[in-house]
Amino acid sequence: MVQRFKQFIVRTPLHRMAIEMKAYWISRNWVRENDKILNNKTVYCISPYKTGTTFLASSFDDAVSMHEPLHFTSIRKLNENFGKYFVRRLNSLDLKLECSGFLSAYVEELAKDPVARELTYICVLRKPSAWATSVVNHHQVVKEGRQHFFWGNELFWKEHVGVDLANFFHFNDTEKQQLVENLISYYMDFTEKTRALRNVHYVWLQDLKDFLPEVGGMIGEVPKLEKSRQNKARKHAFVYENEEVDLAYEQLINDLRAAV
């Protein structure tokens, strides 16, 4: 009954009001937190959405590892004032590992913030063609949930990437091509910006399972592969292939790894 009521609310104009009220009370608690790091130094996986972040976060106990915690509130408040909320949010969540694709939009802020720049980061690598394909298809599934306020599209994809994923299949071929080019540009730019981070670990998506023991060493926890899960797209209505872009990305990764 409760779940059905929530689904009803999500599909009505009350949706936006409900999540904004919740975000208000959560962020009030963040403001009460100390603006200096307290009990931990959370390891952050900051790869964009659709790079295995669900799998990585779910490979460790829920008490120490989370995937996109307080998702709406986090994007809303970090968009509003990154410097004010990042460390307070870190202290409030008190995690050992966080995997949140929205953090890919704040690499420059992470590299400059006096606390964030000392933390450890993980960047999961995926060929741009496969990534763009997965992003477009996944958000068609999300759209089917019929959210009245498609906040992920509004607060992240439109604001930070400059794309409207919710209406992708309503665009003509030229508009679709431009949207994909914007996606690829964001992805390449994000990856290049990680060069500014002091302590970043790069791992290809296909190697993520073998990388788990190293992550466990970073956070002092044993990975539990049996509890892991993946968030694979259930639709395959769109396919993007661009070998030239994929090769350029591989060269960028080689350059970044050589500089570490």
**Confidence at residue 105, expressed as pLDDT on a 0 to 100 scale:** 97
Q: At a CB cut-off of 8 Å and minimum separation 6, what does 176 contact?
A: 168
Q: Which two tokens stand for residue 214?
A: 């190293």
Residue 130 three-state SS: helix
CATH class of 2-259: alpha beta
Q: Where are the domains of the chain?
A: 2-259
**Confidence at residue 33, expressed as pLDDT on a 0 to 100 scale:** 86
SS3 sequence, 155-202? HHHHHHHCCCHHHHHHCCHHHHHHHHHHHHHHHHHHHHHHHHCCCEEE
**Confidence at residue 234, expressed as pLDDT on a 0 to 100 scale:** 62
pTM for the model: 0.92
**Confidence at residue 1, expressed as pLDDT on a 0 to 100 scale:** 56
pLDDT per residue of the chain (260 residues) written in tens, 0 to 9: 545 646 655 666 777 888 888 998 999 889 888 888 887 789 999 999 999 999 999 999 999 999 999 999 999 999 999 999 999 999 999 999 999 999 999 999 999 999 999 999 999 999 999 999 999 998 887 666 666 667 889 999 999 999 999 899 899 999 999 999 999 999 999 999 999 999 999 999 999 999 999 999 999 999 998 888 777 666 678 999 999 999 999 999 999 998 77
